[in-house]
Structure 1
């Protein structure tokens, strides 16, 4: 086997959740080149990954016409892949799969009208998302065995993160917690006021704690609402700009804990080896890596998990609103104590 193509276009967290599959493919077929087709915004998650030979980055700005788009897919497909793994079955993936002429074309169980594209398909196993993804590889004799997502940082990136944190006021003896209070879906976003209260309670309990809020494009106001709601703003290390994904990851690698919603940063934390505490609303435990250092908390309503983008409960967003900062803080501090031993 010479070349394998893995198609995982988006989102950022999902690309990270594909890295165990990349590692497994590289381990089982060490002489094969593992290529990845993904969107350009997700490429930082693959930078420096020793399992990845080539990243084919889709940039929608560069593919302004159907002719350019087809030409790009043709160039990827005609590289000469023996195996193509399609984790998403999106239209752009299907173009490449159809053009590839690969001897083996794998995916999860497709709709009847897409079955002609694939030689093998698998009903994904239930459980952790990265495991479910990796189960698509089983026709190749590849099985997931607890591999976690991985993001590879350079020494230069780690040094830059330490310098940034020091410039924001993190001193020796203080312990950093990164905080991700944002999400574009309300059903996955614990209220900003709750996060503010959580920081206040945690800081009062342990004066050594410092908190670094994380935010992406258009989310700075959401983060500032959290800071405004807490009574310890001097313990919040607020960057004066949005960090790049890899800067964020390097800062998270310096933290004793990551706390946040079910979003890409919780997967980044797992990938850099930082313990996590995730507040859950609509999503299930399938998004948490199955290890003691990665904890998730949910209110446990009958309607959870619903996996919906809009709340159908008459008591709107009860799963999040009624999950109190006091209960979350107690559980978070207990988890922090456990992972600090």
Structure 2
């Protein structure tokens, strides 16, 4: 019997589906045995060609020869195999055991590969530390805004507060785009200071939907912490309505941009109605706009507060010009200039239910 398997296709399948040896079946077909995996939960006989629909085929061809120690051999032959492995076996049951061994080895290898890329979301739940930092950041922002209100004594002061608050909201969207562009295209997990953020954002491209599984404080705390430290000195300075309100609103938009980002990865039915209305009005980044960012070459629609700046930045090729300038000075290429690597290609769905289209709103 001949055992053949397409490693890369199967690796893609098992990282998004649950497989075990019990997922196998076999049947006779002109002296052969065929075993078929399907991510859709259907098992059937035959030897179809694997395709991008993530179907994995194990094909066995019976031969007349004594049984050998196939199971032990299977454990070793598939370590480091990048494409197709071939091993002689002697019966349908042995083929099933071989496939089971291959499943287990690939599950371990795929898990390690994902861990190495920093895209395994092992910490999706909020801890008390996360909640404490979020509470601290929120209290700091509220305190600074209260300080601005207290410093407003005239109608002109109130008008100024409103104007700078709108400006802060608009500028926060621009800032989110610049930062997002930078960490998407430059550096890696080992980069000083920003390494963890770079790893998280680049890993997010591998499995976009995981952001919707993070609990609220878990998703927000990493931005709330620096916001609290940034606001601290402003709380000690004399009150300035315009300055204090600008800083408070700007940082609030930056901190909560991660929640706006998560909503852009959620289907219409899964978010509050007010969020959908704000997205439709262009006040929060929409799933349609952000969905375009998750398509190769991942070089557009970086802004994640309102997305207001995305057409302006992309239409005028602002980031492209910056990339050329950086390359001319430091000879550093952005990630968007190179062919998308296997680690960057999305192997998880945009939405958490395994789909890429929101049927309720015909978006993505």
- Which protein is richer in strand relative to its size? 1
Greater Rg over alpha carbons, structure: 2
- Which protein is richer in helix relative to its size? 2
Output the TM-score relative to the length of structure 1. Answer: 0.24
Output the TM-score relative to the length of structure 2. Answer: 0.23
